[in-house]
Amino acid sequence: MPDIRHTPEAPTRTQVLAPGESIDAHRHDDHQIIYAGSGVLAVTTAAGTWFAPGTRAIWVPAGCVHAHRAYGRLDLHLLGLPAGTNPLGLEAPAVLAVSPLLRELILASTRGPLDDTPERRRLRAVLLDQLRASPQQPVQLPAPTDVRLAAVCELLHHNPADPRNLAALATTAGAGERTLSRLFRRELGMTFPQWRTQLRLYHALRMLAEDMPVTTVAHRCGWSSTSAFIDVFRRAFGYTPGTHNRRP
């Protein structure tokens, strides 16, 4: 098993990652909030992958081994919180909605100077209040453990536009449709259609971050039409895919 880099204090800083660049698996003794000011961020743990555009942030609890990957140019804002400060009460990673106010608080908190001044303590207090009010968002791809379920998930990862239903996919994994349906609910916490939508949104974000046209993304991710893709994307993220790379 490879050594996992251990940094006791989660850093508070900004960092730029080039498209495709990654940060290897590591852990902190502190909690961390990870926000992408531009590009798309993917955070992977043993439990799965969480992904976030600029309207979302990712909460990583203290001690959780995680890795980062950038899609598009990533302006990464890393905000560490002491292990005893958990405004969300979360012991597992989660994706959080980021309001315009919370976004500005995160940006201000991760830019220097980072001295412990009364002004910065007041800023931190407001930020914690905003975090407590921040709803969680289901933007996650849990990792399957059953080999039959993993085979189906891997197949669709390679081709998210694969139109086959669960019954047809089940035959490739040597399992029945009902068995796979139960496995999706039990292991991944969602139905097959829900999981497939999450998968397609993940790949759509990745492609949009690479400046791929919206129509091409819709086709490659398996939506029946561009308008159907735009509707699902808007409901998931609060803006249209055409404005993805123009967001502040």
Q: Residue 1 — pLDDT band, cuts 50, 70, 90?
A: very low
pLDDT for 50-94, tens place per residue?
888 877 899 999 999 999 999 888 888 999 999 998 888 888 898
Residues 157 and 113 in one domain: no
Q: Are residues 162 and 122 both part of a single domain?
A: no
The pTM assigned to this predicted structure is 0.84
What residue numbers bound the domain in which 75 lies?
5-137
Same domain, 215 and 199: yes
Nearby residues of 30 by Cβ (< 8 Å), 6 or more positions away: 8, 9, 10, 62, 80, 81, 82, 83
* Per-position b or e across 47-69, b if 16+ CB within 10 A of its CB: eebbbbbbbbbbbbbbebebebb
Q: What CATH number did the domain enclosing 132 receive?
A: 2.60.120.810
- The pLDDT of residue 248: 52
Looking at 137, 170, 195, the residue that finishes a domain is 137
Same domain (yes/no): 156, 108: no
Q: What is the pLDDT of residues 12-36, one digit of tens each?
A: 888 889 988 999 999 999 999 999 8
What is the number of domains present in the chain?
2
Among 115, 137, 159, identify where a domain stops: 137
**Within this chain, do residues 213 and 102 fall inside the same structural domain, yes or no?**
no
- Quick one: 159 and 80 in the same domain? no
Structure confidence at residue 175 (pLDDT): 87
CATH (domain of 183): 1.10.10.60
